[in-house]
Structure 1
């Protein structure tokens, strides 16, 4: 299994101002053999996703075609939002929208095809033996995508995804993470202090920030909370909510927070990766995830800090793998390290401005 490629190979591939192709319904029907169920590769509240082939410069270009179900809760507003957003944003860790079809009451989105499907599938359905380093690289890729959205790089505004979860993290042929499904995303100023009051809370149970649920106030820290749940999923292999684990362990977040508080980190590790995580890396990774799901949004890190911290964890893990030992957190700001360990906010350095 190939792991995701590194930052150096990926950092220069972001652009803006991408134009989407308008497909005719006849083209979509041809690509999907008239919506043949044998080509269905995914299904959710929005409808079905088909693997299809469209005519292009490359003969038989493979794509993912999402057909909105007429009975779905996600309607025209979400459809338009996704087209508008992905026509503006382009990043190596955001799934690319190739085009759409809006004909005869059909609402269809055509995406770049991701050969390895969703992270959710590999963690919870296929039980793919993803290595610890591969999981770290997936987390880093997803963090890069979210950081790009939040900071508004290359755009005038930032974006809150609002539905971060493992089923919305797709994996390409190199197992690099791609953030997908922007139908619920909210565009606004990049100021971290800005919040929006939602008449109706959007998101997915198990990833939903309790503060957002109770106050209806949406900020970038709402995404940070959900990403913390994803980190705990990657570490433990557990579902965000699983009643099979009994009442006291049904919630992944509550169980993981208890493990961190009681310093029982080994209990959190997926059996598939036990014994492969350098102890310092396990401690810091768990602290990062724990900080992301802090009950007070202002105490959560920004995605910029989460990204820097995860990159440091990977650096230490890879050095440990090479030498069998690692003496410290090389190349990692101790201000950031102390923040995750003790909760002390950094008072100097590159990341001071990232806290609100």
Structure 2
């Protein structure tokens, strides 16, 4: 990470699994330094509580703004997986792992700090200003590029959701949280049979029912994110215990998708851009994985939806 007090290492020592190795060099950060930048993990530096630990902000001695995930003791496997994935996956639309700390019974991951938080907070549940349709499309395209890269690297994220898409100071989307990600060991392997993990409302049917995890499982989850972006609604309406995916499919069948679109966008979307985006999102959440597009196809359709939107802006700047 280029920080003057870090030293490189090529492996993580773990008493429960002495053969565990990170495939490329990573960096250890002394625990004392992380205590210093968070004032001993003072509450005023606290950002959020995640599934595997608490997240804090801080500034390293070289001026780098960072986010620190202080993993819970039960999250050893997730901690190791996160380091392993991000040590060989590097992309402009993935968060950057700056370093890690594994001492004094602490497991801490250090990332670049994302100034604008997560995507969900800009869609609903906060008082942040509404984003334009063009801005939402750019964010979706960035996230799709990150997922497309992961899939080409034989990595299945396994927990794609709007809170796991972070936004930097320029609202560039970066995918985060790889603790439960899986790597397909064989090029011709069609799926992994594994315990179901993920978030309610985003889990693909075949994965939820039979534990069959594929790249198309990520595509389904991303389709739900696309619907959140379009409708500014949560994946699960807990007051009615209904899913956004089911509602969108029904609206699409009736030709009434525009009726569930975020009211802040309704008069600002080129109908052709809406049609392309809506069709793409609904195809992503097809009940059969075989009927879902690849992330490469999704990316192409989203870029086309943006071009359609930009064409109407050029024709009518007002």
Confirm or deny a common fold (TM above 0.5): yes
What is the number of equivalent residue pairs in this alignment? Answer: 294
TM-score of the superposition, structure 2-length normalised? 0.89
Instruction: Report the TM-score when normalising by structure 1.
Output: 0.80
Residue of structure 2 equivalent to 1:68: 71
Secondary structure at 1:103's aligned position in 2? Answer: coil
Shift of 1:22: 0.4
Structure 1 partner of 2:207: 212
What displacement does 1:45 show? 2.0
Equivalent residue for 1:203, pick from 192, 198, 207: 198
Indicate if the aligned counterparts of 1:192 and 1:220 stay in contact, CA closer than 8 A: no
> Out of 310, 313, 316, which is 1:318 matched to?
310
Alpha-carbon shift at residue 192 of structure 1 (Å): 7.2
Displacement of 1:128? 2.9
Q: Which of 230, 233, 240 does residue 235 from structure 1 map onto?
A: 230
CA contact (8 A) 1:150 1:190 kept: no
Residue 186 (str. 1) matches residue 146 (str. 2): no
After superposition, what is the alpha-carbon deviation per residue over 1:166-209, rounded to whole angstroms, capped at 9, x for unaligned? 000000111010000000111115747620101x2011001011
Unaligned runs of 5+ in 1: 1-16, 153-157, 326-356
Q: Distance in 1 between matches of 2:220 and 2:196?
A: 15
Listed as ranges, the gaps of 5+ residues in structure 2 are: 1-22
CA distance in 1, matches of 2:129, 2:52: 26
In the superposition, relative to structure 1, how do residues 303 and 189 fare at CA in structure 2: closer, same or farther (>3 Å)?
A: farther
Task: Please state how far the C-alpha of 1:18 moved relative to its aligned partner.
Answer: 6.7
Asked if 1:31 is matched to 2:48, the reply is no
Q: Is the 8 A contact 2:184 2:192 kept in 1?
A: no
- Structure 2 match to 1:145: 146
Cα distance between partner residues in 1 of 2:51 and 2:156:
20
How far 1:310 moved relative to its partner?
0.4
Cα shift readout 1:304-338 (whole Å, capped 9, x = no counterpart) = 0000010001011101111139xxxxxxxxxxxxx
Look up the match of 2:216: 221
From 138, 142, 163, the equivalent of 2:159 is: 163
